[in-house]
Structure 1
Amino acid sequence: MLVTLSVLMLIFFIFCLMTKRLSALTALIIIPTVFALIGGFYAHIGKFMMDGIKTVAPNGVMIIFAMLYFMVMTEAGMFDPLVKRVIKAVKGDPVKIFLGTVLLAFIVALDGDGATIYIIVLSAFLPIYQRLGLSLPMVCCLLLQVSGLGNMVPWGGPTARAATSMHVEIGDMFVPMLPGLLASAVWTFVLAYIFGRRERARLGNHLDLNFENTIDEQHRCRGTKTFYFNWVLTFLLIIGLCIEVLPLSYLFMIAACLALIVNFPDIQAQKEQLEQHAPPILAVSSLIFAAGVFTGVFSGTGMVDAVGTALLDVIPQSLGPYMAVVTALLSIPMTWLVSNDVFYFGVLPVLADTAKHHGISGIEMARASLMGQPVHILSPLVASTYLVVSMLKLDYSENQYFTFKWSLVSSLILIVVSLLTGIFPFYAA
């Protein structure tokens, strides 16, 4: 019954999003609630919901104050010189802009957190995209490609989970994966070039190649002292995030307060900043907590475990020697359907137990299990994806439709290069 209920819920969820019967916010809350009631879980649904919200709460709070911090810094003019230099360098060429977007995103992605990528990159580049009229779905797709690969750094969540589940050293598991990751990173730059060429052809003679006065007209910079203070504060914040001196959400709380006090010392000006930035922050934070409801109900009812078990049951024993490849391919839909915790701590150990009878090691299975991460970033269970979609004011379902095929290519490149470099076997006798 749980398998049927969970499959129907997922189908109905996807259908409502794709056909725009419901918004992402309402679908994430209403659909799991209805199906949990159908399944007879009315006595525990409140607990499931609260458990899910507690899971996403740290990220939700972090994103709220991270958005406030970077929005305040943008209003204070911190990014204006950077944007002006980028404008001068790229001369309005979409190819150079998209390549620069990917380069900056990969640099920021070293911290392993998708939300940071979106906030920093869009704070710097969004005025340029809007001024030129570039395709925002393409921008979103490129950032999601980078975020999916950034998830796979050793200190990222999926890699740590895979290593922990298989009881292997992260370094030993990760280093042989670098050729595959580099190949997928190169593909992302190629995709940026392809998108840039398309936009260059689409805009044609309408491209504004000289708009250096875009920032000057806004007169946002509040003085040399605050400008340098803002960059020093941001640098210290990034260092603090990397070494985790305090919880990420708390660091952004402190930084946002300092940014407001220094750049807008007048209380009325601070209130105006909060009022100005409240709508986009509320739009994103509400989606994140709605995703927590979906996750909590989906996990608490046991539906997510039922889906994983059902998929394992349909794998024939004859595929045992190919279990590494099966795991790599299975990680693509599985990490979209279920959370990383469920896949790496629930499904992967079962797959690895079968694989070891054919001489496939735990470290090889751990590597194979990470191949679906470029697609996983599109999962409705990934809170940060709602952030980038909201910041770019895109439709969630249309973004899924546009981005999926490119993310799938990235995963397939990872698998092919991984097989060619031998970090997990195609066949084991």
Structure 2
Amino acid sequence: MLALIGVLTIATLLFFIMSKRMSPLVALIVIPIIGALVAGSGTDTAKYIIEGITKLAPMAAMFVFAITFFGVITDAGMFDPIIRGILRFVGTNPVKIIIGTGILALIAHLDGNGAVTFLITIPTMLPLFNRLGMDKRILVGITALSAGVNFLPWTGPMIRASAALNIPTHDLFIPLIPAQICGLIFMVGMGWYWGKKEEKRLGAAYFQSVTSDFSHNKELTEQEKILRRPHLFWLNLALVIAVIGTMVLTRISPTVAFMVALTLALMINYPNVEMQKERINAHAKAALMMASILFAAGAFTGIMGGTGMLKAMSEAAVGFMPESFASHIPFIVGLIAMPLSLVFDPDSYYFGIMPVIAHTVQLMGVPAIQVAQASILGQMTTGFAVSPLTPATFLLVSLAGVDLADHQKFSIPVLWAASVIMTFAAAITGVFPF
């Protein structure tokens, strides 16, 4: 009976989120509470909610400080010289242009925000693509591919996977670094391939005849000029390198790393107290939105675990799965993770589908973390920029003036290939078995 209530709770959650009848924040709180009351938990439901939120508090704090930190250094103009350098380097060579676009998207996606990545990359590179007559589907495709393989410990899918299974993001991310490197190499390789195709299509003589005096310089608003701190570029860059190095090379809590980095960024760039308040307020909306979702997810996972619904569903599922098949589940999840982005939004998948799969295989002796890592290799990472379930997809195509259907036909095979390559790389490096 408890397993049936759990299945109905998750099915109802998926229905209301995917049909957009409820926001994820509301659905993740209201529906599991109703499920817990039906299961007879009574006032213990409140205790389960608090337990779930308590487990996720450090993670929510990390995200708040991370998004604010990257927002502050962006305001200070740390990325401006990097963007100008990339644009000077690419000239009118299509191979360099496409790979340079991928590198720019890679850097812009350091804050883990897809919309910001697209807002920086597409307007910067679109005039060059238009002037040279290059295929804008390639501009959109390389941007999507670069952002997709650049999953970091503070990006949405990683945070959700960590929250759903209560596993530190550090433990999820570090073993996936070799697979991610393979994904980045694939991105560069696709940039070279697309560039050579464009050279052949338009003719090398055409590119040689085009002068390189086209100006890419973005006109800053008066407000942006006030916030820029070009003389502090190297100091801000050192801060970014230090915080990422701390995440990858040490066991220091990411929350502490970003907390210290944010305070240093504010004191260095904006010593005036009022300006510090303004910068925090400017990025508070994005940070608060994600933190709220995480706390709501904490309520959901706390209830599903505390009431025993998750365990009951997993035990029921074990009866339908051959024991010899369980060890292959993470690899299979990795292979299909990218197309799952077209079916499930990140909240539905990471808080509804993935925990059931993970706990089911765990009961059969397979670590739950393997399912989370396999999911990260595609579900709303390589898949988010083609999914109709994410607003960022529509932002991407509208900025470039590309039809959504054309973008999906062009990019889905490439993005899926990246996910499959990273899945094989993860299996070869021992993250999970074949």
TM-score by length of 1: 0.64
Mapping of residues 335-374 of structure 1, within 5 Å: 336=350, 347-348=361-362, 350=364, 371-374=374-377
Distance 1:315 1:342, change over 3 A: closer
Deviation for aligned residue 1:122: 7.4
Q: Could you give the per-residue CA deviations for residues 265-324 of structure 1, whole angstroms, max 9, x where no partner exists? A: 11221222122222222122212222222221222222222222222111257xx4x554
Q: SS where residue 40 of structure 1 aligns? A: coil
Q: Distance in 1 between matches of 2:251 and 2:330?
A: 36
Q: Distance in 1 between matches of 2:231 and 2:258?
A: 21
> Are the aligned partners of 1:13 and 1:31 in contact in 2 as well (CA < 8 Å)?
yes
Residue in 1 that maps onto 2:73: 73
Q: Distance in 2 between matches of 1:194 and 1:75?
A: 35
Deviation for aligned residue 1:326: 5.2
Q: Distance in 2 between matches of 1:245 and 1:327?
A: 26
Q: Percent sequence identity over matched residues?
A: 24
> Are the aligned partners of 1:28 and 1:291 in contact in 2 as well (CA < 8 Å)?
yes
Q: Kindly report the root-mean-square deviation, in angstroms, between the aligned alpha carbons of the 2 structures.
A: 5.3
Distance 1:351 1:250, change over 3 A: closer
> Are the aligned partners of 1:328 and 1:372 in contact in 2 as well (CA < 8 Å)?
no
Distance 1:142 1:9, change over 3 A: farther
- Residue type of the partner of 2:80? D
Residue in 1 that maps onto 2:331: 328
Q: SS where residue 74 of structure 1 aligns? A: helix
- Residue type of the partner of 2:364? V
2:224 is the counterpart of 1:214 = no
Deviation for aligned residue 1:214: 0.9
> Are the aligned partners of 2:105 and 2:117 in contact in 1 as well (CA < 8 Å)?
no
Distance 1:58 1:211, change over 3 A: farther
Residue in 1 that maps onto 2:238: 232
Distance 1:184 1:79, change over 3 A: closer
Match of 1:287 among 293, 300, 307: 293
Mapping of residues 51-90 of structure 1, within 5 Å: 51-90=51-90
Distance 1:210 1:50, change over 3 A: farther
Mapping of residues 103-118 of structure 1, within 5 Å: 118=112
Distance 1:222 1:249, change over 3 A: same
Distance 1:22 1:81, change over 3 A: same
Q: SS where residue 214 of structure 1 aligns? A: coil
Q: Distance in 1 between matches of 2:25 and 2:194?
A: 30
Deviation for aligned residue 1:62: 0.9
Q: Distance in 2 between matches of 1:3 and 1:87?
A: 56
Q: SS where residue 364 of structure 2 aligns? A: helix
Residue in 2 that maps onto 1:128: 121
Match of 1:304 among 300, 303, 310: 310
> Are the aligned partners of 2:83 and 2:104 in contact in 1 as well (CA < 8 Å)?
no
Out of 327-336 and 301-310, give the one that drifted further: 327-336
> Are the aligned partners of 1:87 and 1:211 in contact in 2 as well (CA < 8 Å)?
no
Residue in 2 that maps onto 1:100: 103
Residue in 2 that maps onto 1:2: 2
> Are the aligned partners of 1:68 and 1:277 in contact in 2 as well (CA < 8 Å)?
yes
Match of 1:263 among 269, 281, 286: 269
Q: Distance in 2 between matches of 1:65 and 1:57?
A: 12
Q: Distance in 1 between matches of 2:12 and 2:359?
A: 27
Q: Could you give the per-residue CA deviations for residues 354-389 of structure 1, whole angstroms, max 9, x where no partner exists? A: xxxxxxxx9xx99899644424667xxxxxxxxxx7
> Are the aligned partners of 1:328 and 1:370 in contact in 2 as well (CA < 8 Å)?
no
> Are the aligned partners of 1:375 and 1:411 in contact in 2 as well (CA < 8 Å)?
yes
- Residue type of the partner of 1:143? A
Out of 403-412 and 322-331, give the one that drifted further: 403-412
Q: Distance in 1 between matches of 2:42 and 2:63?
A: 31
Distance 1:270 1:328, change over 3 A: closer
Distance 1:75 1:422, change over 3 A: closer
Residue in 1 that maps onto 2:33: 33
Deviation for aligned residue 1:129: 2.8
Distance 1:68 1:48, change over 3 A: same
- Residue type of the partner of 2:25? L
Q: SS where residue 315 of structure 1 aligns? A: coil
Distance 1:350 1:369, change over 3 A: farther
Residue in 1 that maps onto 2:257: 251
Q: Distance in 2 between matches of 1:50 and 1:294?
A: 10
Distance 1:143 1:291, change over 3 A: farther
Residue in 2 that maps onto 1:46: 46
Residue in 1 that maps onto 2:201: none
2:320 is the counterpart of 1:314 = yes
Residue in 2 that maps onto 1:386: none
User: Is there any run of 5+ residues in structure 1 with no aligned partner, and where?
Assistant: 109-115, 165-170, 198-208, 353-361, 379-388
> Are the aligned partners of 1:2 and 1:306 in contact in 2 as well (CA < 8 Å)?
yes
- The alignment of Structure 1 onto Structure 2 pairs a total of residues equal to 367
Match of 2:284 among 272, 278, 282: 278
Q: Could you give the per-residue CA deviations for residues 182-241 of structure 1, whole angstroms, max 9, x where no partner exists? A: 7666666678899999xxxxxxxxxxx955221555435645543332222333333333
Q: SS where residue 377 of structure 2 aligns? A: helix
Mapping of residues 183-202 of structure 1, within 5 Å: none
Out of 54-63 and 411-420, give the one that drifted further: 411-420
Distance 1:422 1:136, change over 3 A: closer
Distance 1:256 1:184, change over 3 A: closer
Out of 126-135 and 258-267, give the one that drifted further: 126-135
Deviation for aligned residue 1:72: 0.9
Q: SS where residue 246 of structure 1 aligns? A: coil
Distance 1:310 1:49, change over 3 A: same
Q: Distance in 2 between matches of 1:126 and 1:425?
A: 38
Distance 1:277 1:211, change over 3 A: farther
